[in-house]
Homo-oligomer: A and B are copies of this chain.
Amino acid sequence: MKGPLLLINFKTYLEATGKKSIELAKIAEEVSKEKGVNIAVAPQFSDLKSVSEAVSIPVYAQHVDPIRPGAFTGHVLAEAVKSSGAEGGLVNHSEKRLKISEIEEVLEICRGTELVSIVCGNTVGVSSAVAALNPNMIAIEPPELIGTGIAVSKAQPELITRTVARIREVNKSVKILCGAGVSNAEDVAKAIQLGTEGVLVASSVVKSRESRRLLAEMADALLSKPDSSLVGSKRRITA
């Protein structure tokens, strides 16, 4: 996937469960095509297949378990996620934390099943630690901001630039997303200016009465440029 990404996490909101998950995914698809911007959706497990069939934008599982095919009742098998039509999965979301040895195991399994992995990290330290495990993307999401409507990019812009810099020391190629408190177009623009390559959004979009308009504004903002005075020099080195 080239260019910045906007991923919508449906969580376990009723507003994005069952039929409503398909409706929201279709809105996301329309905005994606109209704006020429990468938008992906992460519905619940039981909606993965019907959403994948309904839209052509990328679909992600919200979690993948560190297991292989076999006797693991109630677990999320990478092969099942893949066969449902999903492109990848979130790993270690703040609401579904894993042990570090499990994260590595899941990443190996994702590589084996050709699933794109997005590992979430809550702090500078954790984000740079998981960078060493070489996932496809890392989403920075300080838990204190999740669901607050306060964008990490505004509340603590230096946290973003510092985390990006630390991740780049360990891993030059991983795609970095900004994943907490992003609730409007301004937050998205700010996240991009600070050097990340996309955002995770959830309640702001899922619970909005005007999801389409909000997504369209966010999509425009996603095409902002990184602010070279903040991140340019670092990115040149790491590119």
Q: Which of A43-98 contact B (CB under 8 A)?
A: 44-50, 61-63, 67, 69-77, 79-81, 83-84, 90, 92-98
Partner of A147, one of B13, B71, B84: B71
Query: Range of interface residues on chain A?
Result: 35 or more
- The reply on A99 being an interface residue by CB < 8 A is yes
Q: Give A97-117 as 1s and 0s: 1 = Cβ < 8 Å from B's Cβ atoms.
A: 111111110000000000000
Tell me whether B71 and A63 are in contact (CB under 8 A).
no
Q: Give A1-44 as 1s and 0s: 1 = Cβ < 8 Å from B's Cβ atoms.
A: 00000000101111001110000000000000000000000101
Q: Which residues of B contact A134 (CB under 8 A)?
A: 125
Q: Which residues of B contact A196 (CB under 8 A)?
A: none
Tell me whether A83 and B18 are in contact (CB under 8 A).
yes
Partner of A75, one of B70, B96, B97, B122: B96
What is the bound-complex CA distance between A100 and B14, given in angstroms? 26
- The reply on A230 being an interface residue by CB < 8 A is no
Tell me whether B17 and A77 are in contact (CB under 8 A).
yes
What is the bound-complex CA distance between A65 and B90, given in angstroms? 18
Given contacts A49-B50, A72-B12, is CB(A44)–CB(B77) below 8 Å? Answer: yes
Tell me whether A71 and B125 are in contact (CB under 8 A).
no
Shortest distance in angstroms between A150's beta carbon and chain B's nearest beta carbon? Answer: 15
Shortest distance in angstroms between A227's beta carbon and chain B's nearest beta carbon? Answer: 26
Q: Which residues of B contact A123 (CB under 8 A)?
A: 101, 104
Q: Which residues of B contact A49 (CB under 8 A)?
A: 46-47, 49-50
Interface residues of chain A, those whose CB is within 8 Å of chain B, are 9, 11-14, 17-19, 42, 44-50, 61-63, 67, 69-77, 79-81, 83-84, 90, 92-104, 121-123, 125-126, 128-134, 146-147, 166, 170, 202-203
Shortest distance in angstroms between A123's beta carbon and chain B's nearest beta carbon? Answer: 6
28 contacts between A and B (CB under 8 A): A9-B73, A11-B71, A11-B73, A12-B73, A12-B80, A13-B69, A14-B69, A17-B80, A45-B45, A46-B49, A46-B61, A49-B50, A71-B146, A71-B147, A71-B202, A73-B93, A73-B95, A75-B96, A92-B100, A98-B100, A100-B130, A104-B129, A125-B133, A126-B133, A129-B129, A131-B132, A132-B132, A132-B166
